Chain A
Amino acid sequence: MAGVLLNHVTKTFETDTEPSGRKYVLKDLNLTIKDKEFICVLGKSGGGKSTLLNLVAGYLKPTSGEIIVNGKTVSGPSAERGVVFQEHALFPWYTVSQNIQFGLKIKKNKHAKEIADQYIHMIGLEGYENKYPASLSGGMAQRVGIARALANNPDLLLMDEPLGALDALTRENMRKELIRIWKQAGKTILFITHSVPEAVYLADRVILLKNGIIDMDLHIDLPRLRDPKSREFINYVTMLERGLAEKETDGILSE
């Protein structure tokens, strides 16, 4: 069980670039995420997507309003809300396997090793178990970051552009894996991405964040696995791209 409720959430940062001295990154945001829902957040760079995720993760405190996860007000980070970071954030002094086992070891899980092996297989990094993050490529490190969050088995997964550094084929496989895990383990997922087709491919609902408010909240009514070449799919993509563009005339070159 992991529903999320954002109740009139405002977040400001102090800054000297604004005449008022504060920058409103999120303005009076209301959002309900149902249990086991897959939500994608789209928005411009600097639009407050990571801020939203950091608030739900408990790293930041809302300036006003409250965030409720699973019936409890969020007051700090916890293991029931797993996070995959935009920059992979692996522990450089631990090997790939030790990184994935980190949360399991803390929970004193006796099967940490086997679970880690399972996820290493899933992300296709067999043979890299004992390598340190410094010797991985960007995309490999990102996959380890995803595996580390998944292995900890949180109810709610917060993912900040986790597939950004991957090639098209690996990204495709990771998307499918994600859908499989989401379906099978019944998780709630909040997924940030820059790619409109990716959002339409993955999400139950796509949220478009613009100037600190929710500009669009779109249900994707397509059965999975979705075909990116289908007419309906393309319609959704066009709709969102139009919303993303500042002016009607702005064109966006899609993925």
Chain B
Amino acid sequence: MTAQKISKERREAIRVQKMYDRIAANEKIMLQKKQRRENAKAARALGVKKNAKSEWHNKVARICSLIGFFLVWQGVCMLNSNGAFFNPTFLPSPADVVMTGYKYIQDGTLWVQIWSSMYRTLLGFALGVVVALILGILTTSFQTMDNIISPILNMIGPIPVFAFLPMFIIWFGIGEQSKIILIAYATFLPLMTYTVDGINNTSPVLIRSAKSLGANQFQIFTKVIMKSALPNVFVGMKVSLALTFSALVVAEMMGASRGLGFMITNARNWFKVGDMFLAAALIGLEYTVFFSILTALEKLLFKWKRSGLSNAVET
């Protein structure tokens, strides 16, 4: 009887002991897991911090440089406010330029200038890109087209773009047309070279493999050649963009009644140096916006390029 009872109690004790053991083991595993998670987190934080620190450092230095530039400029202007060194109208201070901008925003005239420049750039750039792509594709696809187009381009290519403006004005009038055509032409010339280069540099092995997978000429063009050339086209667009904007300013300086380039020539006539600075700054800003849009598009379209090696050597 007692023996039975004892054994029962013991069994119970063993059961409980086992349960505790199990719980303890579980807890231990949980703890280990938690520890590992925390370790990983710490390591991640450390790594990120290390990287972020130097990156943050660089950023601060760059911003400080810009702030310093404007502070010095403002300081020089303030020291010179009574004309101690030179005539203050020659160099307006950053604050003056901002005030000028504010004034024109208030009376609503600034938007017209910005918009007309924007509109010309957009239209001219788009036209230039389309023509460059079409001619680039034609010359690389058909030898006859290459024979027809390339010599002509080689002949007129070296002539500086802006030399054509007076002719364009005579041919297409003083209005929007001649300006947009000049901008388009300036965009087209370098971009065409990049497009042709991109198409010609398509890896022959990729064309071979597409052929052996059953692709026809058109499919090879759309699925291989264009895909492979597109990054180069984007590089070309970014390079052309500088010329696009130069052409914009030149076109607007000759016979325009609106636009940021016009603002500069107009300011010269009235000796409003502040207006000149404002217009120049806005042209720079517009360029930056366009450039950033292209960069963002690139990032979106060419994910496949960034997934591999990013640096030649990690630092």
A interface, CB within 8 angstroms of B: 57-59, 76-79, 81-83, 85, 87, 89, 91-95, 102-103, 106-107, 131-135, 148-149, 152
Contacts and interface: CB of A to CB of B under 8 A. Distances in A.
Contacts of A107: 214
The 7 closest A-B pairs by CB, nearest first: A134-B308, A79-B214, A103-B213, A77-B211, A132-B304, A135-B307, A83-B212
B308 A102 contact: no
A87 B113 CA distance: 55
A57 B208 contact: yes
Contacts of A134: 304-305, 307-309
A135 B212 CA distance: 24
B306 to A, nearest CB: 8
Contacts of A81: 212
B209 interface: yes
Interface in B69-96: none
Nearest to B309: A134
Given A106-B213, A152-B214, A91 B208 contact: no
A79 B211 CA distance: 7
A244 B42 CA distance: 58
A157 B245 CA distance: 54
B177 interface: no
Nearest to A57: B212
B214 A132 contact: no
Contacts of B203: 89
Contacts of B219: 106
A166 B209 CA distance: 21
Contacts of B213: 79, 82, 102-103, 106, 148-149, 152
B214 A103 contact: yes
Residues of A contacting B: mostly: loop
Contacts of A89: 203, 205-206, 208-209
Given A83-B208, A134-B304, A135-B307, A91 B214 contact: no
B223 to A, nearest CB: 8
Interface in B190-242: 203, 205-206, 208-215, 219, 223-224, 227-228
Given A77-B211, A92-B305, 18 more contacts: A58-B211, A76-B211, A78-B211, A79-B212, A79-B213, A79-B214, A82-B213, A85-B205, A89-B209, A91-B209, A91-B227, A93-B228, A103-B214, A106-B215, A132-B307, A134-B304, A134-B308, A135-B308
A86 to B, nearest CB: 9
Given A89-B206, A91-B206, A91-B224, A78 B212 contact: yes
Contacts of A149: 212-213
Contacts of B223: 91, 102
A83 B209 contact: yes
Given A85-B205, A87-B205, A132 B212 contact: no
Contacts of B5: none
Contacts of A132: 303-304, 307-308
B214 A106 contact: yes
Contacts of B305: 92, 134
Contacts of A85: 205, 208-209
